[in-house]
Copies of this chain bind each other. A is one copy, B any other.
Amino acid sequence: MAERVLTLQPLTAEQRVQLEKTGVEVVDAENWEAAAPITIIFGWDKKVGPAALMAPNNQVKWIQTVSAGIDYLPLDWIKAHNVQVTNASGVYSPAIAESTLGYLLYFVRGFNEAVKNQAGHFWQVPARDDLSMLASQKVVIYGTGSIGQAIAKLLNGFGNRPSGVNRSGHPVEGFVETASLANDSTLLKDADVVINAMPATSTTVHYFDESFFKQLDELNIFINVGRGKSVDQQALMNALLYQNVLHAALDVFEEEPLAKDSRLWDYPNVLVTPHQTGFAKENTKPILDIFGKNLTSWLADGSLSVNLTDVSLGY
């Protein structure tokens, strides 16, 4: 029996042909009920996904997500039914890194003021000393994995060698120095920029809390491209008011969407983006490459060769 792949991710005609060449049957979201048994799911949809997965006439053994995180899947059910999950970890790091450089330049090069002045037709030239250069900002990146390394690599191109914080403090290429989470305060002393690129784990929930922000004195920029739950949002808002932090760029939030009446929207020194920092049309190909590699090994010997997650751990 041929494998039946339910695709919950749009495919071009060409991509569909590529998949079918491997011998699998490709089933679209609207046809899943007629096409059972489904054995593989590519992508996810919060309605079709659970329905197809749990329908008794299906035999799903493997889900390939197009995301890095897998926390939105019904993990308990998946674990109980021995379904394997592969993710798209790593694919989004280059796009996240580009956005992070954009956030940095937005504040360092005076765009935040320019945008507000433009809205009022104000030709307000800053003092020559008001602006600084990214090259000379002291940057501390929390998380030295795929995302942190991609950010460090782009910073290196600006002649900027960031510091890094990770669990053990082990050295990482592209970083001038690293410290463990327990010893991060030495790196923060003369920092201009703090970037959160850590995954969501029990250690990182509200890592950036009141006591973290209170040790800062006019930090130029705080950026969160990691997880919303890593930051105590109220503590950050207080830090912005009391100038422990001067500017913030936030792509992720404790609750998403950010509430319509949240005061964060109106902070003049905050840039809010709606959890989009990893988006890029260029991601499609590397995601399909991961799926293709796994499909090849799956069809050959039932193994999944790249990005296999541990469903018990949730990543």
Contact = CB atoms under 8 A, between A and B. Distances in A.
Nearest to A159: B94
A110 interface: yes
A133 interface: yes
A271 interface: yes
Given A121-B265, A125-B275, A274-B124, A98 B106 contact: no
B276 A114 contact: yes
A106 B102 contact: yes
A223 B284 CA distance: 28
Contact of A258 (B105, B108, B123): B123
B101 A281 contact: no
A145 B126 CA distance: 26
Nearest to A251: B114
Contact of A125 (B111, B114, B119, B276): B276
A14 to B, nearest CB: 15
B135 A98 contact: yes
Contact of A115 (B115, B125, B126, B131): B115
A136 B98 CA distance: 12
Interface in A95-110: 95, 98-99, 101-102, 105-106, 108-110
Interface in A70-129: 94-95, 98-99, 101-102, 105-106, 108-111, 114-115, 117-119, 121, 123-129
A104 B271 CA distance: 17
Given A128-B283, A157-B154, A273-B110, A98 B265 contact: no
29 contacts: A94-B135, A95-B109, A98-B105, A99-B105, A99-B109, A102-B102, A102-B106, A105-B106, A110-B276, A110-B279, A114-B272, A115-B271, A118-B271, A118-B272, A119-B119, A121-B262, A123-B257, A123-B260, A125-B275, A126-B276, A127-B279, A128-B279, A130-B281, A131-B276, A132-B281, A133-B282, A154-B157, A157-B157, A157-B158
Closest 10 CB pairs of A and B: A157-B157, A102-B105, A123-B257, A129-B281, A131-B279, A114-B273, A121-B265, A99-B109, A118-B272, A102-B109
Given A99-B109, A126-B279, A157-B158, 12 more contacts: A95-B109, A98-B105, A98-B108, A102-B102, A102-B105, A102-B106, A114-B272, A114-B274, A118-B271, A125-B276, A130-B279, A153-B157
